[in-house]
Amino acid sequence: DQQVKQNSPSLSVQEGRISILNCDYTNSMFDYFLWYKKYPAEGPTFLISISSIKDKNEDGRFTVFLNKSAKHLSLHIVPSQPGDSAVYFCAASALGDSSYKLIFGSGTRLLVRP
Amino acid sequence: NAGVMQNPRHLVRRRGQEARLRCSPMKGHSHVYWYRQLPEEGLKFMVYLQKENIIDESGMPKERFSAEFPKEGPSILRIQQVVRGDSAAYFCASSQSASRSNTGELFFGEGSRLTVL
């Protein structure tokens, strides 16, 4: 039972264009969402997060949008750079005693072509 | 200012052997989490420990798997009598606290890749 789904295993975009990575969730108790970036043979590194009380959070070239009614979030990277090529994981956590526990999607591999 | 250190980075075991994976959290961090990533899947929570205490082991398989975080030394994830299905990348993460506001400041190690022949 996948509670966090990333339906696109891969995405290829041209350098300078926008990259849009999507994530859907099923658990209505999730109220905090994060994106992690992972290079090969390295651990995931935190990129950006959003609380369910917001619908947008921006940090430089990275913006996360949250649509609670659709249980959908997306990560926009603009402009995309070759160094952004990595696997991006969406993760969620639920309010409560286990809020430390992150539920990850299966990841989307982004390739930014020079 | 070292990050989360995991060793070994790669471990090969034959079926039935034991695997021990070690994790030293970032300096000043007393909360340790283990996650497992199977091929082509996302990371899955296994266990959350504080010094000398297991707080949440709800993601640990019921048999063969155990974890500890002693007063001195690294956290250890131990897998007894390994089977081929245990082949995965095991990631350790640490945080300064488990508070919600720090969820984004979960720092991951580079992982230990276990291959069971």
- pLDDT tens track, chain B, 117 positions: 579 999 999 999 999 999 999 999 998 888 999 999 998 888 999 999 998 899 999 999 989 999 999 988 999 999 999 999 999 999 999 988 766 555 556 889 999 999 999
pLDDT score for B39: 85
Report the candidate in A60, A68, A83 with the shortest Cα–Cα distance to residue A32: A68
B98 or A61, greater pLDDT: A61
Q: Which chain B residues are Cβ-neighbours of A105 within 8 angstroms?
A: 42
User: In this complex, which of B45, B56, B110 lies closest to A42 when CB atoms are compared?
Assistant: B110
Q: Are A65 and A76 in contact (CB under 8 A)?
A: yes
> What is the maximum span of chain B, computed from C-alpha positions, in angstroms?
42
Q: What is the rounded average pLDDT of the residues A20-40?
A: 94
Q: φ, ψ for residue B32 (rounded to 5)?
A: -125, 140
Contact state of B42 with A95 under an 8 Å Cβ cutoff: no
Contact state of B98 with A100 under an 8 Å Cβ cutoff: yes
Tokens of B10: 């790669």
Q: CA Rg, chain B, in Å?
A: 13
* pLDDT tens-place string over residues A46-55: 999 999 999 9
pLDDT score for B94: 92
pLDDT score for A34: 93
Chain A, nearest residue to B41 by Cα: A106
In a mutational test of the B interface, the residue from A30, A46, A64, A102 whose CB has the highest number of chain B CBs within 10 Å is A102
In a mutational test of the B interface, the residue from A39, A88, A101 whose CB has the highest number of chain B CBs within 10 Å is A101
What is the rounded distance in angstroms from the CA atom of residue A71 to the CA atom of residue A24? 6
Helix ranges, chain A (H) = none
Q: Are B50 and B95 in contact (CB under 8 A)?
A: no
Tokens of A6: 């990333």
pLDDT score for B105: 65
Distance from CA of A87 to the nearest CA of B (A): 10
* pLDDT tens-place string over residues A17-26: 999 999 999 9
CA-based end-to-end distance of chain A: 38
Query: Could you tell me if B49 lies within 8 Å of chain A, comparing CB atoms?
Result: no
